[in-house]
Amino acid sequence: MSTQAVNVHSAGWRDYYELTKPRVVMLMILTSVIGMLLATPGMVPLDVLILGNLGIALCAGAAATVNHVVDRHIDVKMARTNNRPVARGRVEPQKALGFALFLGCIGMTILLGFINALTAWLTLFSLLGYAVIYTMFLKRATPQNIVIGGLAGAAPPLLGWVAVTGDIHGHGLLLALIIFAWTPPHFWALAVHRRDEYAKAEIPMLPITHGEHYTKVHILLYTFMLLAVSLLPFATAMLGWIYLLGAVILGLGFLYWAVEMLRGKNPKAGMETFKYSIIYLMALFCIMLLDHYLVALPTSGV
């Protein structure tokens, strides 16, 4: 049997793992872990840390799996996604949906049984926000799809916060707001780079409906907004000087790439901006943690 035939007909655990969009979920979990640690001056109880993040990750993986099923006819048309397990036929849609249901039920049971109801319901809203509202409706309907859909992806640090404290605090919301402002430059940079593929799949992403220049201007505007929003944890005394310095340097780096895109002289700028966006978010949240333990807690007298 040829390798191609094996690829097409047999599903392995790797295919099921891929359905969960593991690298995206890992970054989300980094933000929810940090959301938990920022929520308290003390140490987060180990069961909340482990079970809370497990529950959130399983629900995010369930949402990602539904996205693979719903988008299979689109995914098969784009080079970036055409080897995905459901699009390629290695995993049948019903089996993938069963897998999503399994992950979602375990995730919700963990959150309801061991964390708290508010975290569980907010996680379910995020799951449905991405799997149903974004994937089934917004993605196909409007170039603002990812701006609105970004609310679901922005939730993890807030979910982490609520898992620890049991209520929604302004500081937790601020963390989600940062990811909300980050999502458009994160995604549109890639969409500019992959414009032709989205056009082929007839998805109304901003570079297709409004053109590349318009998209690049909006990337720059959102990057300014992101820089401003990222200063709020300092302005509200949630975090201190180390964070301020980190947020400014990382934000200026993002602005550099957004301007590079707009100048249009560097053909790799779109992909570089996309890659930078991931490093940016990872680094920003790590610096929050550093600041929390080195500056914010010691000066608050805890």
For ligand HEM, the binding residues (CB under 6 A) are 23-24, 27-28, 31, 80, 134, 146, 149-150, 153, 179, 183, 186-187, 190, 278, 281
**Residue 258, binding choice from ligand HEM, ligand FPP, none, Cβ under 5 to 8 Å by partner class:** none
Exposed/middle/buried for residue 4 (C-beta within 10 Å: 0-12, 13-18, 19+): exposed
How many Cα atoms sit within 13 Å of 180 on the Cβ side? 16
Q: Which of 139, 133, 73, 63 is nearest to 101 (CA)?
A: 63
Closer residue to ligand HEM in complex, CB, 240/270: 270
* Distance in angstroms (rounded) separating the CA atoms of residues 72 and 78: 10
CB of 68 to ligand FPP, least distance (A): 7
CB of 282 to ligand HEM, least distance (A): 8
CB of 116 to ligand HEM, least distance (A): 22
Provide the token pair at 282: 């990872």
71, 212, 260, 291: which one contacts ligand FPP (CB under 6 A)?
71
Structural contact between residues 175 and 31, judged by C-beta atoms closer than 8 angstroms: yes
Nearest residue to ligand HEM, by Cβ distance, number only? 153
Provide the token pair at 9: 């007909």
Amino acid identity, position 241: W
Closer residue to ligand HEM in complex, CB, 26/221: 26
Query: In which residue are the tokens 């007839």 written?
Result: 202
CB of 135 to ligand HEM, least distance (A): 10
* Distance in angstroms (rounded) separating the CA atoms of residues 286 and 280: 10
Encoded one letter per residue, x for contact with ligand FPP by CB under 6 A and - for no contact, window 142-181 reads: ----------xx-xx-------------------------
Binding of residue 195 to ligand FPP (CB under 6 A)? no
